[in-house]
Amino acid sequence: MLIFIIIVNNTLKSSLPTVLSTETQTLASRAFESIKSDIIAGRLSQGSKIVESDLALKYGISRGPLREAIHRLEQIRLVVRVPHAGSRVVALDSKMIEDIYVARECLEGMAARLAARHMTGEDIRSLMELLNQHERDIGKAEGKFYFQSEGNIDFHYRIAVASQNRWILDNLNGELYQLIRMCRHQSGQAPARPQISLEQHRQIASAIAFRDEELAELLMRRHISGAWKIVKTILEEKHE
Amino acid sequence: MLIFIIIVNNTLKSSLPTVLSTETQTLASRAFESIKSDIIAGRLSQGSKIVESDLALKYGISRGPLREAIHRLEQIRLVVRVPHAGSRVVALDSKMIEDIYVARECLEGMAARLAARHMTGEDIRSLMELLNQHERDIGKAEGKFYFQSEGNIDFHYRIAVASQNRWILDNLNGELYQLIRMCRHQSGQAPARPQISLEQHRQIASAIAFRDEELAELLMRRHISGAWKIVKTILEEKHE
DNA sequence: TTAACCTTTATTGTCAACAATTATTATTTA
DNA sequence: TAAATAATAATTGTTGACAATAAAGGTTAA
């Protein structure tokens, strides 16, 4: 039996499922979660080879459930696998990151549109409150990119949930956000322009409050393509 | 090393990977393909329970690779699985089909935009030729919904490929198109308004040829949301 | 008769050994 | 010395048996 302890940070309550961490019932699930966080945090470095027996030993389980975990990691694109030749941690290059941002742009744009359609008044109030919380966090925890970064994803996650579209939600939460996190953990953390980002979030929330689907989608798409442009320049600088 | 063989049918050359039939190397892959086509064709009916040992016996393999096949089917959403309780073939309800069409709308919209950016002159000529072929097919094979239906997906597939975005391509080709096929195979085949559909495809191709990204995306989104409206009315009629 | 509990059965989860494949190294030959 | 080839080692794919869990059915008590 394995017990997960949920640490509630009173200054920043996160609604992300990563934290709630439903006490997983099967060895494969637990291995999946462990390896996933190892990859995202960079403890398993990009492009490094994954040997089944090694990892099985490391986690104290047999190769069966570990294989299942790897297959699931392959699905969410944290691992690439070639038959008979083994699997490696994904290596994110510039093109791949661009693809991720472009996919996010259209999916989250649609999510914002649907959120404007489906969110209840209570949902919207709660969303506004989250943004206020973010504002306070920015003031307090200057330079603490981690919290800011998670808070950022938190906003986007709420929109994705509010879309009430399982495909969109699963894609964003199951694959794209993970890779964004991974990307940040490695390339010197966060984009770090919290005020601008917060302001854009406020505009999106406002459009949702006014039930302006068109505008909500438009603003979200701009917000994300803008984020990509910044990431891109950072990557290009780094490349020299 | 893996070699793809493209079989060219002279009356209807399909660029779909379903046809190129990569000679799969592993038992799990073969089982995956077999079960997938069984589900899509309705030989495994929606919502029916999947018992590992039964299927293993049926395909003459052991439970190990069969489990892997089921996991992969779960990823592409043809199967839903609950831990310790087994897995069932997905049961498509109206809401789920709507979600699929909405996801398609934004992903393919973006794909059309990107196609307008990336397609070469040769690509565009080939696309036009495909549409001419479709026109001939409509004239010839009246009522042969299968060809029309596959031809329809064929057009969309080319756009997705031309987007040069792996996420978008994989999502469409790996998950959404499969479910659309499945949906058609069951609910009395095709939407059957080939001329209108063809005309809309022509408009999209034209926008791509003019490198009008904005228009290409707009037209594609209309095309798909229009298709959903028709499917929706059919479903509602059927429900009575 | 119904509800709770226990027993049985069917099914999934896990394991360790075996087979097949690929990568590596050593050896031979030009 | 370099290239090609064969032997070896490492790793993945596959199998059948065993353990754990959940569903089904029957039994007992209120």
What is the DSSP code string of A221-235? HHHHHHHHHHHHHHH
Q: B69 pLDDT exceeds 80? A: yes
Separation CA B186–CA B175 (nearest Å) = 17
Mean pLDDT of A160-171: 96
Locus of tokens 């794209």: A176
Of A138 and A222, more confident: A222
What percent of chain A stands above pLDDT 90? 66
Per-residue confidence (pLDDT) for residue B235, from 0 to 100: 87
Separation CA B38–CA A25 (nearest Å) = 30
Separation CA B116–CA A106 (nearest Å) = 16
Token digits for A178? Answer: 């993970």
Among A68, A99, A166, select the one facing B167 at the smallest CB separation. Answer: A99
Q: B11 pLDDT exceeds 60? A: no
pLDDT by residue (tens digit) across A11-47? Answer: 233 333 333 334 568 999 999 999 999 999 999 999 9
Helix, strand, coil share (%) of chain A residues, nearest 5 = 70, 5, 25
Strand C contact at CB of residue B14, distance < 7 A: no
Rg of chain B, C-alpha, whole Å: 19
Q: B81 pLDDT exceeds 90? A: yes
Say how far residue A236 (Cα) sits from the centre of its chain: 23
Separation CA B77–CA A210 (nearest Å) = 35
What type of residue sits at position A53?
Answer: S
Cα dihedral sign for B92, B170, B215, B181?
A: negative
Among A83, A109, A171, select the one facing B171 at the smallest CB separation. Answer: A171
CA count, 13 A, side-chain hemisphere, A138: 17
| Closest chain B residue to A64, measured at CA | B64
Which residues, 6 or more positions from B14, have their beta carbon under 8 angstroms from its beta carbon?
A: B150, B154
**CA of A222, closest CA in chain B: separation in Å?**
14
Token digits for A15? Answer: 């609604």
- Taking residue A49's Cβ as centre, other Cβ atoms within 10 Å add up to 11
Separation CA B79–CA B89 (nearest Å) = 5
Per-residue confidence (pLDDT) for residue A13, from 0 to 100: 32
- Distance of A36 CA from C14 C1′ (whole Å): 21
